[in-house]
Amino acid sequence: MDKAIDKQNDSDVNSVEKSVILLFSMRERICSVLSLALMQNNFTIIQAATSYLAMIKTNQFLPDMVIIDITPNNTSDVLLVNRIRKSVRTASIPVLVIIPAAIRHFLDEATKQPEPSSVDADAPATLYTLEYPFNFADMLKQVKMIMARNAPAAKPASKKEKEREEEEKVVSQQLLNLQDSVESKLKAIEKLIHKQWAFPFTVIKALDIISSDESCSNELAKCIETDLAASTALLKVANVVYYAKRGSRVTAVREAVVRLGYRETSNLLACLALIDLSPESRKNYGFKREEFWLHSLATALIAEKLCKQCGHNKPQLAFVAGLIHDIGKIPLDNNFESLFSRLLDETSTNSCSFYKTEERLMGFSHTALGHYLTSKWNFPSVVSMAILYHHNPGMICATSTPSDRILQESVYAANILAKAMCLGHSCDELCEEIPAAILKELKIPTGPGMDFFGPVLKDLMVLCQYLNLSPQNIFVGKIQPEAQKTDITDIIVVYNQANEFHPMVVALRNNGYNVKTTLQFDPEQYKQARVMIFIAEKGFPMDIMFFEDDNGETGAASILKIFLFNTLQNKKMQPDIENDVIFLDKNN
C-alpha cells in the first residue's frame, strides 16, 4: 500500500516538471544558485532582480509559482506578496516566501494573517513560507508538492511531434540571425505552418462580399452555406436565448443571417475563425489565449465604433482588422516556444513594447508577419495594411487615401485604448501616447468620453456569451469620472498644449483613481493631490510651480511628482526617489 502511494506521489511530482517558476531575489548569488538547482530539476526559471520587475513579470507570464527571497535588507519587499494576492490576474498563483525567522513578523504583519510554513495537502492556501537556513532537497520537495495539485498530466511527444520540433528549432535560429533578410524569414515561417494553419476560405470570401459596394445578406448567406462548420456555428448562435426570444427556432442559414443581422453575422464569422486558429491547447505562459481573444475582441469593437463615428462606409472591415491585428503573434507562440518566451521576458525586463523587442532580436515584428500572412490569404489590402501599421502612427498619417487612413487610425487607437481599459491581455501593457493629429481625425481630440466605452463593454459581453468566453476575465474596474475642482484628487495630470489626451488617464480611472486633467497648473491644486503627473512636449514650457522646500510649505504631505518626457529628452535623467521625483518615458 505504501509503495502504491509513493508511486502516485512520484507521478504527481513528475507531472509538474517543465513548469514555470518566477524567482525574485535581490542577491545575485542566491538567485543564480537557486535558478541552476531548479533548472536541473526541469523547471523553467524566470528571474527578477527587483520587486517592480517581479510584479511586471508575474502579471505578464502568469507563472505556475512565484518564489520570493526576503532578507533583513529588503524587508519592504514583503509587500510584493500582497500585490500578487490582491491582483485579480495573479491572485491564484501560489507564492513561496523564503525568509529568516528573525524577520518573519514583517511578513505576518504585511499579510495580516500567518500562513502555514509547510504544505497541507488539503489546504487551499496560496502563500507558503520557508525559513533560513534550509536544505535545497526540502525546498524542492515543497515546490513540487505545491504545484502538483493543479498540474496536468504530461503527455509524451509523438515521433511526428519530435520531428516538427526539430524543424522549428532550425527556423527559430534563422529568425534570430539578423544577417538573413526579413523576406526569407517570413517565407520560412509560412512554409512551416502552411499545411496546418490558414484562415478559413469562407471568412475571406465573406470579407470580399463585405468590401463590395453591392453586398447583401443573401449573398453572404450563400457564402456561409458552402461551409458546414460555419453554418452550424451560425445557426447555434442564432438560436441562443438572446435571439430566440424574437421568434421561432431557425434552421436555415439565410434565416439566421436575417435574425442576427448583417453586421453581427460577418463579425461572428471572423471571431469564430480567430478562435479556431488559436486554440488553448496548452498553457501559453505570458500569452493566455482567452485573454488574447478578449483583447482582440475589444480592439475590434472599439475600432468599429471609431470608424462609425467618422462616417466610414465599411466599419465592418475595421472590426475584422482590429480582431486580427495581432494575428502574427500566434504562429510565433505556437511554433517557437523558446523564442517567444525570450521575447516576452526581454520585453518585461526592459519595460518596452513587445514589437520593439521583436524588431531588435529578429529584425521584424508580428505586424510584418501578420501583413505577410493575410496578404497570402487574399485579405482586402486595407485590412492587411491596418495590421502592418498598427504600431506605426507615422506611416498611418502618411497614408493618402482618407478612408484607408481612418481605418488604420481606428485600429491603432483601439489597440491602445483596449489596453488602457484592461480588456484582455496581449504581450505587454504599455499605453503609448496617441498623436494629436490622429485623435483629431477620429473626432476625439481630447480622448473618448465617459459614454464611449459603455456600448463597447455591452457588445463585448454579448460576444463573450456567443463564444463561450468567461466574462469574469474582462478585468474592468469602476471607471471614475473627471474629478471636480472641489474633490480631493488622487492624481492631477497636467497636459501640454500639443496634446490634450494620454491613454494612461483611462487606465488610472479604470483602476478606480480619482483623476483631474488640466492644461494650466493651479498652485492651489498642488495641496489637493497625492500625485502630480506632468506630460512634457519639446518646444512647449512645462507649467509647473517650484517651491523652496519642495513641498511648498513646512510640514506639507509629500507629493509624488512624475515627469513624462520624450525618449531622447529622458536618457540622462535619473529618478530622485528621496524627493519623490520620477522621470519616465511617456510612451511606456
More confidently predicted of 50 and 529: 50
The predicted structure's pLDDT at residue 262: 74
Helix (H) or strand (E) holding 569: helix 567-570
Question: Lowest-confidence range among 274-283, 477-486, 512-521?
Answer: 477-486
The predicted structure's pLDDT at residue 8: 41
Averaging pLDDT over each range in 198-207, 219-228, 357-366, which range is the top one? Answer: 357-366
Helix axes 381-388, 315-323, angle to 10 degrees: 50
Question: How far apart are alpha carbons 353 and 391 in whole angstroms?
Answer: 10
Question: How far apart are alpha carbons 361 and 175 in whole angstroms?
Answer: 8
DSSP 446-465: T---TTTHHHHHHHHHHHHH
More confidently predicted of 503 and 151: 503
All three cell numbers of 435:
498623436
- Band of the pLDDT at 61, cuts 50, 70, 90? confident
Query: To which CATH superfamily is domain 278-473 assigned?
Result: Hypothetical protein af1432 (1.10.3210.10)
Give this prediction's pTM.
Answer: 0.80
All three cell numbers of 133:
537556513
* Range 489-585 has CATH code 3.10.450: no
Question: How far apart are alpha carbons 468 and 470 in whole angstroms?
Answer: 7
Question: How far apart are alpha carbons 291 and 473 in whole angstroms?
Answer: 7
Question: How far apart are alpha carbons 324 and 374 in whole angstroms?
Answer: 9
Inter-residue contact 185 to 364 (CB < 8 Å): yes
The predicted structure's pLDDT at residue 157: 64
pLDDT digits (tens, 9 = 90+) for 89-114: 788 899 999 999 888 888 888 777 54
All three cell numbers of 185:
524569414
- Which residue's entry shows cell 512624475? 562
HSE-up (13 A, CA, CB side) for residue 214 = 0
Other CB atoms within 10 A of residue 397 CB? 16
**CATH topology (fold) of 2-148:** Rossmann fold (3.40.50)
More confidently predicted of 470 and 309: 309
- The domain ranges of the chain are 2-148, 278-473, 489-585
Evaluate whether 2-148 and 278-473 have a shared fold: no
- Cis omega before residue 133 (within 30°)? yes
**Rounded percentage of the chain residues whose pLDDT exceeds 90:** 27
